[in-house]
């Protein structure tokens, strides 16, 4: 057998082994390190929901390469929480390399639910026009492996407070993780929000920036409650795995 043929057979064998051993019950949430932007990958087996796509620099593609099977070029759903470039800028490049089955954005409203495998994404806000792009961004409650994760997009403290006062955010949810709003900006992550949801951890999706994100006061509000702070600019991709049984 020639060396070239041997290498080809070995490669095919390796490829088949990788495909066969990829866990069909894989269940995880990945807060992608996309610099100063948002991209959250929710994965059930080989199916994916992607919440935001980061900037047009395409760093979300690197995250997908790290966490999804290389032969899978289909993404079942993409949710764009709002049109700011640090949340939507990577969509054009994503669509060049992946078949995106469904794209959701302004067509989503309160109580809408996206389901895929063992994951559901329930829209908590907006319930009406709040008046600006950030406040109208899509806030979602993710249920994955029986656990709750709250994704606050870029809404302001005013919207957070309305969600608390109107009972949209309930203490009984037992939130594992909250992706806090607007990269840790001082315009959000209110006392009312933290007192109501009291997550075990918060994630700040942030990169090098000139805005002072994350704000020192925001970090202090979180840490004084004993909540762990995790940051993509310090840890890179932040991965949560869940029991699929």
For residues 207 and 35, the answer to whether their CB atoms sit within 8 Å is: yes
pLDDT digits (tens, 9 = 90+) for 129-171: 888 999 999 999 999 999 999 999 999 999 999 999 999 998 7
CATH 3.40.50.300 describes domain 25-236: no
pTM, full prediction: 0.89
Report which secondary-structure segment, H or E, holds 24. none
Bridging pattern class, strands 147-151 and 47-51: unpaired
What is the CB neighbour count within 10 angstroms for residue 148?
17
- In this predicted structure, what is the pLDDT of residue 129? 87
**Domain regions of the chain by residue span:** 25-236
**Number of C-alpha atoms within 13 angstroms, CB side, residue 217?**
8
- The Cα 214–Cα 207 span in angstroms is 9
Q: pLDDT tens across 62-112, in order?
A: 999 999 999 999 999 999 999 999 999 999 999 999 999 999 998 899 999
């Amino acid at each position: 057998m020639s060396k070239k043929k041997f290498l080809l057979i070995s490669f095919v064998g390796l490829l088949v082994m990788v495909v066969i051993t990829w866990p069909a019950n894989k269940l995880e949430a990945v807060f992608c390190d996309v610099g100063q932007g948002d991209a959250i990958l929710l994965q059930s087996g080989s199916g994916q929901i992607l919440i935001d796509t980061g900037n047009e620099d395409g760093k979300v593609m690197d995250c997908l390469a790290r966490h999804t099977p290389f032969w899978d070029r289909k993404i079942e759903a993409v949710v764009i929480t709002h049109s700011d470039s640090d949340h939507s800028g990577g969509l054009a490049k994503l669509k060049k390399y992946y078949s995106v089955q469904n794209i959701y954005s302004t067509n989503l409203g309160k109580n809408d639910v996206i389901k895929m495998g063992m994951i559901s994404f329930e829209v908590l806000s907006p319930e009406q026009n709040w008046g600006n792009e950030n406040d109208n961004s899509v806030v979602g409650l993710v249920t994955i492996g029986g656990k709750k994760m709250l994704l606050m997009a870029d809404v302001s403290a005013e919207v957070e407070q309305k969600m608390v006062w109107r009972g949209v955010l309930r203490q009984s949810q037992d939130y594992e993780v909250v992706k806090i709003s607007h990269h840790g900006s001082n315009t959000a992550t209110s006392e009312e929000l933290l007192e109501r949801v009291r997550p075990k951890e918060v994630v700040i999706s942030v990169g090098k920036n000139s805005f002072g994100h994350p704000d020192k006061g925001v970090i202090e509000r979180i840490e004084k409650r004993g909540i762990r702070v995790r940051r993509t600019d310090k840890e890179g991709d932040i991965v949560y795995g869940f029991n699929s049984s």
